[in-house]
């Protein structure tokens, strides 16, 4: 027998912790019928949850959950912090991976009839976990505070108003007020990093405990009696190896995606932008499409009643489907219904994308938005100017310039403060693109594109022109 | 209690002894995942050690030409930009540009090294005067009279093209030598 220092150290630890017995219990879990690839999704979910927890905790090193700063801090993470874009992308794409693996886990459970007989609570805890995971995706989506985050959450929280009697109260509770604002962001942040993760942690413990209590269901040729141990193989090492394989595959794919296709950050949330077309993440697209088909006075039926009925039937599955038969070919109703719902969701999602690409106006706007996102991503990080410590008053010359800007009706086309308008480009940030001399020349001799847009050559005196240019260059 | 512990013979977890090949694969896989994740995580957390997250930038005082023929101290308002992570503070500060006897340009901080009051240039007396405790400095910043422990503080400058740039800093008061405040 080995009596080296490592062995003695392990003995010392084991005497005080009982680690060996614990590991044996954890790793010796009997798997009826032996290890299978079909069983890897549960631990896959735990792996992604841990991955999300770790990356999420690290992201809070730089993130600030306030409507004033959230966007700047996420931009800082994306553009300046070492490995920031990678970790943020890992976290953002991780949510998609979570949803995919969740669907696979549920599908496996349904095909294998693994919810049957004495596994009702296990199934219910799983349903609860699914809702919590979707809640994580929903709350996390708002945190970057860019346009798509803002509008997706605006739509998402608006759905609550369809609930009879208390709909408005629910919406106000979720938003922390009537409108989406900094309180919404605080609430979503707390929910995303404290409340929901705590609930998930507790629920995962219950789910795993109930799973171990009931025992793995095994192949669907078996009847689902408890502690079915004949022809069983321990979890370690083969099943663990398969589970680890999935974990490796997931992290490799997520890393490649994060590295080669970093998750984007769009323009900062601007509630006043009435042109913006908000679109949710792909896994909410089917629901998004579904909502389109329900017009008043039937909205409540489509948005509330039908999804609720489906959810209740889904959660009640082990109570409704009580037969001991687990073979999929002998359970046509459950399987075909599940396949139908899944297919319907896929078709709805697909239709949502088709609708967008078939409507020229929508396609146009979406392309414009994509180009804007690209442009923003290529721009270097611009720190937020802090007005807390020192408030700088603009120099007299820019005040003069602003008067000229407004008197000459520049704002009629270029918008208030150079914010841009329907007919003309915005002027904010123009100071970083053109020098004073270049701008003076352009104002006196506009180029073809500008003339085509209706720009008139300036007739201003040199001094006024100079003040105007100073003002334009100060626009942020 | 102690006897019970001694009698209870623990064994190394079985998985350490048997199936060693699979154990190695599992260990390797776990380490691979850990490494793939911990490198970016550590780089992310150590970002403030890998790059500058806080710094005071160089501010433009003006074009060199403006100061070539100055005869006495010239007061200028500069815009000081301090980076602080994802934000920056922009503030206006006054500085004095002077020409030394060897016609070298020097930029002086207007903060009195005594107790930090703003020093003013008096055109009629041709002296720098601190209004708080009557510290007096010569036109080149040298201490003439009063409680200040040292001469007026020189700021770091550099010339880029035709521009005079200055790095605005604060210095410890009440000490005889110039010490930059962190």
Structure tokens at A285: 């697209």
CATH number assigned to the domain comprising residue A100 = 1.20.810.10
| Domain of A54, in residue numbers | 33-360
Question: Is residue A418 in some structural domain?
Answer: yes
Q: Are residues B40 and B84 in the same domain?
A: no
Q: What residues of chain B lie within 8 A of the CB of A82, using their CB?
A: 43-44, 46-47, 50-51
Q: Is the dihedral of CA A408, A412, A414, A416 positive or negative?
A: positive
> How many CB pairs below 8 Å do chains A and B form together?
119
**How many angstroms separate the CA atoms of B136 and B151, rounded?**
9
CATH number assigned to the domain comprising residue B138 = 2.102.10.10
CATH number assigned to the domain comprising residue A439 = 1.10.760
A251 to B11: CB separation less than 8 angstroms, yes or no:
no
Question: Is residue A174 in some structural domain?
Answer: yes
Q: Are residues A152 and A275 in the same domain?
A: yes
Decide if pLDDT at B2 tops 70: no
Q: Are residues A343 and A404 in the same domain?
A: no
SS (H, E, C) chain A: CCCCHHHHHHHHHHHHHCHHHHHHHHHCCEEECCCCHHHCHHHHHHHHHHHHHHHHHHHCCCCCCCCCCHHHHHHHHHHCCCCHHHHHHHHHHHHHHHHHHHHHHHHHHHHCCCCCCCCHHHHHHHHHHHHHHHHHHHHHHHCCCEHHHHHHHHHHHHHHHHCCCCHHHHHHHHHCCCCCCHHHHHHHHHHHHHHHHHHHHHHHHHHHHHHHHHCCCCCCCCCCCCCCCCCEEECCCHHHHHHHHHHHHHHHHHHHHHHHCCCCCCCECCCCCCCCCCCCCHHHHHHHHHHHCCCCCCHHHHHHHHHHHHHHHHHCHHHHCCCCCCCHHHCHHHHHHHHHHHHHHHHHHHHHHHHHHHCHHHHHHHHHHHHHHHHHHHCCCCCEEECCCCCCCCCHHHHHHHHHHHHCCHHHHHCHHHCCCCCCCCCCCHHHCCCHHHHHHHHHCCCHHHHHCCCCCCCCCHHHHHHHHHHHHHCC
Question: Is residue B142 in some structural domain?
Answer: yes
A383 touches chain B (CB under 8 A): yes
Question: Is residue A260 in some structural domain?
Answer: yes
Q: Are residues B105 and B72 in the same domain?
A: yes
Q: Are residues B39 and B101 in the same domain?
A: no
**pLDDT tier for residue B150 given thresholds of 50, 70 and 90:** very high
Question: Is residue A389 in some structural domain?
Answer: no
Domain boundary pick from A309, A342, A360: A360
B37 to A240: CB separation less than 8 angstroms, yes or no:
no
Q: What is the CA radius of gyration of chain B?
A: 31
Decide if pLDDT at B5 tops 50: no
Decide if pLDDT at B109 tops 80: yes
Q: Are residues B67 and B34 in the same domain?
A: no
Q: Are residues B157 and B100 in the same domain?
A: yes
b or e along A66-90 (b: 16 or more beta carbons within 10 Å of the residue's beta carbon)? bbebbbbbbbbbbbbbbbbbbbbbb
Q: Are residues B119 and B99 in the same domain?
A: yes
Identity of the residue in B16, B22, B43 whose CB atom sits nearest the CB atom of A83: B43
* The residue to which tokens 């521009």 are assigned: B163
Closest CA of chain A from B102, distance in Å: 35
Q: Are B77 and A374 in contact (CB under 8 A)?
A: no
Neighbouring CB atoms inside 10 A of B58's CB total 19
Q: Are residues A298 and A420 in the same domain?
A: no
Q: Are residues B40 and B70 in the same domain?
A: no
Q: Are residues A335 and A434 in the same domain?
A: no
Question: Is residue A57 in some structural domain?
Answer: yes
Q: Are residues B148 and B120 in the same domain?
A: yes
Q: Are residues A308 and A421 in the same domain?
A: no
Q: Are residues A463 and A344 in the same domain?
A: no
Q: Are residues B65 and B141 in the same domain?
A: yes
A275 vs B22, higher pLDDT: A275
Closest CA to A346 of A283, A304, A291: A283
Q: What residues of chain A lie within 8 A of the CB of B83, using their CB?
A: 383
Question: Is residue A15 in some structural domain?
Answer: no
pLDDT for res B157: 92
How many folded domains does chain B comprise? 2
Q: What is the CA radius of gyration of chain A?
A: 29
Question: Is residue A1 in some structural domain?
Answer: no
B31 touches chain A (CB under 8 A): no
Q: Are residues B134 and B93 in the same domain?
A: yes
Q: Are residues A334 and A411 in the same domain?
A: no
Question: Is residue B172 in some structural domain?
Answer: no
The residues pairing with B55 across neighbouring beta strands, listed in sequence order, are: B83
Closest CA to A235 of A385, A382, A69, A28: A28
Q: Are residues B79 and B152 in the same domain?
A: yes
Please list the pLDDT of chain A residue by residue as tens digits (476 residues).
Answer: 566 888 888 888 888 998 888 888 888 888 888 889 999 999 999 999 999 999 999 999 999 999 999 999 999 999 999 999 999 999 999 999 999 999 999 999 999 999 987 899 999 999 999 999 999 999 999 999 999 999 999 989 998 888 889 999 999 999 999 999 999 999 999 999 999 999 999 999 999 999 999 988 888 886 655 445 567 888 888 899 999 999 999 999 999 999 999 999 999 999 888 889 888 899 999 999 998 999 888 888 988 899 999 999 999 999 999 888 889 999 999 999 999 999 999 999 999 999 999 999 999 999 999 999 999 999 999 999 875 444 445 667 777 787 777 767 677 677 777 877 666 778 888 888 888 888 888 888 888 888 777 777 887 888 888 888 888 888 87
A383 to B83: CB separation less than 8 angstroms, yes or no:
yes
Q: What is the mean pLDDT of residues B35-40?
A: 92
Query: B99: helix, coil or strand?
Result: strand
b or e along A298-311 (b: 16 or more beta carbons within 10 Å of the residue's beta carbon)? eeeebbbeeeeeee
B54 touches chain A (CB under 8 A): no
**Minimal-distance CA residue of chain B relative to A72:** B86
Q: Are residues B68 and B154 in the same domain?
A: yes
Question: Is residue B8 in some structural domain?
Answer: yes
Q: Are residues A299 and A405 in the same domain?
A: no
Q: Are residues A85 and A208 in the same domain?
A: yes
A76 touches chain B (CB under 8 A): yes
Virtual torsion, Cα A45, A51, A53, A56, nearest 10 deg: -130
Question: Is residue B182 in some structural domain?
Answer: no
Domain boundary pick from A360, A379, A408: A360
B5 touches chain A (CB under 8 A): yes
Question: Is residue B39 in some structural domain?
Answer: yes
Domain boundary pick from B31, B50, B69: B50
B35 touches chain A (CB under 8 A): no
Q: Does the interface predicted TM-score (ipTM) exceed 0.85?
A: no
A72 to B87: CB separation less than 8 angstroms, yes or no:
yes
B8 touches chain A (CB under 8 A): yes
**pLDDT tier for residue B44 given thresholds of 50, 70 and 90:** very high
How many folded domains does chain A comprise? 2
Identity of the residue in A252, A255, A383 whose CB atom sits nearest the CB atom of B88: A383
Question: Is residue B173 in some structural domain?
Answer: no
Q: Are residues A412 and A280 in the same domain?
A: no
Question: Is residue B125 in some structural domain?
Answer: yes
| Domain of B7, in residue numbers | 2-50
A263 touches chain B (CB under 8 A): no
**How many angstroms separate the CA atoms of A344 and A307, rounded?**
13
pTM: 0.78
Q: Are residues A329 and A469 in the same domain?
A: no
Q: What residues of chain B lie within 8 A of the CB of A236, using their CB?
A: 15
């Amino acid at each position: 027998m080995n009596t080296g220092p490592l062995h003695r150290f392990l003995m010392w630890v084991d005497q005080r912790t009982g680690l060996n017995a614990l590991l044996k219990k954890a790793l010796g879990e009997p798997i009826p019928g032996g290890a299978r690839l079909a069983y890897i999704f549960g631990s896959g979910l735990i792996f992604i949850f841990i991955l999300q927890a770790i990356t999420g905790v690290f992201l809070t090193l730089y993130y600030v959950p306030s409507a004033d700063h959230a966007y700047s801090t996420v931009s800082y993470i994306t553009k300046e912090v070492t490995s920031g874009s990678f970790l943020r992308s890992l976290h953002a794409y991780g949510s998609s991976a979570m949803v995919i693996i969740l669907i696979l886990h549920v599908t496996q459970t349904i095909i294998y009839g693994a919810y049957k007989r004495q596994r009702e609570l296990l199934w219910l805890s799983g349903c609860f976990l699914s809702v919590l995971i979707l809640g994580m995706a929903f709350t996390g989506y708002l945190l970057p505070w860019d346009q798509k985050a803002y509008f997706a959450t605006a739509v998402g929280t608006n759905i609550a108003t369809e609930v009879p009697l208390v709909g408005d109260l629910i919406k106000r509770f979720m938003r922390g007020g009537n409108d989406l604002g900094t309180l919404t962001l605080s609430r979503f942040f707390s929910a995303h990093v404290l409340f929901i993760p705590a609930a998930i942690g507790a629920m995962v413990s219950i789910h795993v405990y109930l799973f171990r209590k009931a025992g793995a269901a095994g192949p669907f040729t078996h009847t689902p009696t408890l502690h079915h141990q004949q022809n069983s193989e321990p979890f370690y090492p083969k099943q663990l190896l398969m589970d680890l394989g999935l974990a490796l595959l997931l992290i490799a794919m997520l890393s490649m995606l994060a590295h080669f296709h970093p998750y984007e950050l769009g323009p900062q949330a601007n509630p006043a932008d009435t042109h913006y077309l908000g679109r949710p993440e792909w896994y909410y697209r089917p629901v998004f499409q579904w909502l389109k088909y329900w017009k008043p006075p039937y909205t409540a039926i489509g948005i509330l009643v039908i999804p609720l009925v489906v959810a209740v039937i889904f959660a009640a599955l082990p109570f409704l489907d009580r037969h001991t038969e687990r073979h999929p070919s002998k359970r046509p109703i459950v399987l075909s219904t599940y396949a139908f719902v899944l297919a319907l969701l896929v078709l709805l999602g697909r239709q949502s994308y088709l609708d967008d690409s078939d409507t020229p106006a929508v396609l146009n706007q979406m392309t414009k938005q994509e180009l804007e996102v690209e442009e923003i991503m290529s721009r270097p990080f611009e720190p937020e100017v802090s007005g807390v410590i020192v408030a700088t008053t603009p120099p007299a010359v820019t005040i003069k310039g602003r008067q000229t800007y407004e008197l000459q009706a520049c704002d009629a086309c270029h918008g208030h403060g150079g914010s841009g308008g329907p007919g003309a480009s915005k002027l904010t940030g123009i100071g970083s693109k053109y020098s004073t001399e270049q701008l003076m020349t352009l104002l006196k001799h506009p180029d073809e594109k500008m003339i085509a847009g209706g720009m008139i050559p300036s007739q201003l005196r040199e001094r006024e022109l100079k003040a105007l240019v100073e003002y334009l260059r100060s626009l942020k | 209690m102690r006897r019970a512990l001694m009698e209870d013979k623990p064994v190394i977890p079985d998985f350490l002894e048997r199936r060693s090949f699979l154990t190695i694969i599992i260990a390797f896989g776990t380490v691979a995942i850990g490494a793939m994740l911990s490198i970016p995580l550590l780089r992310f957390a150590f970002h403030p050690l890998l790059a500058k997250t806080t710094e005071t930038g160089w501010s433009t005082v003006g074009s060199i030409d403006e100061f070539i023929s100055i005869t006495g101290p010239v007061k200028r308002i500069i815009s000081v930009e301090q980076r602080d992570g994802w934000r920056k503070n922009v503030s206006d500060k006054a500085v004095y540009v002077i020409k030394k006897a060897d016609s070298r340009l020097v930029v002086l901080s207007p903060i009195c090294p005594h107790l930090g009051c703003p020093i003013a240039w008096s055109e009629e007396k041709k002296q720098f005067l601190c209004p708080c405790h009557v510290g007096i400095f010569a036109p080149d910043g040298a201490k003439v009279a009063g409680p200040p422990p040292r001469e007026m503080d020189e700021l770091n400058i550099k010339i880029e093209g035709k521009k005079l740039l200055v790095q605005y800093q604060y210095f410890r008061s009440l000490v005889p030598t110039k010490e930059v405040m962190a």
